[in-house]
Structure 1
């Protein structure tokens, strides 16, 4: 499979995964992001640096940096949710 086909297949897999993400706040500050899906890898992109985020990256299986953007790949297990904690 060529690179373009692989990219489209990855996108199709994410679309079929039914990814749902929710950010939770306490006292006006974000505490965590809860991500759910049907057994796939979700992507979380931010323009903050890791030190700015102060996050516990549980379930992160990969990371790519493009200039000021950082994309984290989060492994989702079917029927469960993954929490990305923000300290």
Structure 2
């Protein structure tokens, strides 16, 4: 027995797109997490148009960090923002 890598990719997509609330709408990145009961935190890496991001969602806040070298425009929990390279943004829930 072992781990089927395609199944693991499907699980990652279900968690990130589902509970992580990651969407691409009109070419723009949207992130609006909704953690299931019993989960206190969800953290995942994401690469958007070549720029690495890190998303950390908790019950009362979401933090997105731009680990790349160019700014990224996104909508975080309904708020439009441009996240500068090397910066992070936190929104309370």
- TM above 0.5, yes or no, is no
The one of the two structures with greater contact order (alpha-carbon pairs below 8 A, sep at least 6) is 1
Q: TM-score, normalised by structure 2?
A: 0.39
More helix by share: 1
